[in-house]
Structure 1
Amino acid sequence: MPGSDGPLDDDREKNRRLAAGIGYPIIVKASGGGGGRGMRVVRQEKELAQAIDMTRAEAKAAFNNDMVYMEKYLENPRHIEIQVLADGQGQAIYLAERDCSMQRRHQKVVEEAPAPGSPPRSARLSASAAPKPVWTSAIAAPVPSNFSMSRASFTLSK
């Protein structure tokens, strides 16, 4: 997804050029954010500087981290998440996918599984049986014992 390579700095002209290169609308997001907080959609260049300033202030207050970045804002995308269970020894299995597209203020309201329009279970199972590299996610959460649950999120535009 087009966006900044890292946190935005205080150079307003550089940020303006970056947003123009990405193309409006863009979204300014808090690096340490979550729970639907620390995000502003910017539809025009004249809104950019204020959106960056406001997002930084909200991020500092909510997360004690004022770093923000920007990326292309997708209108009405599908938000698909995939769950993987791993044992920490290189073994991982695909559990399920779910559609988390129904959101209010960037927070999930409904998670639907399996995701509508996903391939039939037999196709998913045969695809998951193919050898693939095992990866870990920065959003993996610990679970009791030696297992961890990872979630990969995908945002799909129409």
Structure 2
Amino acid sequence: MADNRFEVPEYFKCPLSLEIMDDPVFLCTGSGHSFERNWLQKALDRNPFQDPITNIRYGDRLTFGPNRSLKAAIEDWKQKTNYHSASAQRPPSPPHRIPEPPRRPFGPFTPSLFPQPQFTPPPVLFAPSFFPPREPVAPPRRPRRHFIPCSPNRLPEHLLSRWEWLR
């Protein structure tokens, strides 16, 4: 059967970290939410004009203040229940290491511990003669376009000699 004396009341938990608060603060927006100071500071560093719970944006930078009554209630509850944080009760876990595979010499004559299957190519679904050979396709012919200038001032020098009469 579970021991009810260590069930943390929901209003003692930070809504951002879901852990019991050590330094509760309230956001000065009138929303009535209390947060752990560090978690609220991180949220306001990311978005200083938005309430992290209601997502309401405000015109001014949000501020917060200490919630002394909630801190006193949490401390009183901790004393009555002889509560200690779960991280203080657990011994530190050893660092997780992945064992390295044993080293073996590698080369063409090294015997393998696990025989490798021989590679067989997949069967050919369509023989190359199935499709008729493609005939080369000639590039499309471009129609010749004639350049007709609007004024002699735009003609290149080598053409101006032919058009002396236009000047």
Which interval holds the TM-score relative to the shorter structure?
under 0.3
Higher strand share: 1
Q: Which has the higher contact order (CA 8 A, sep 6+)?
A: 1
TM-score, length-normalised on structure 1?
0.19
- Structure number with greater Rg is 2
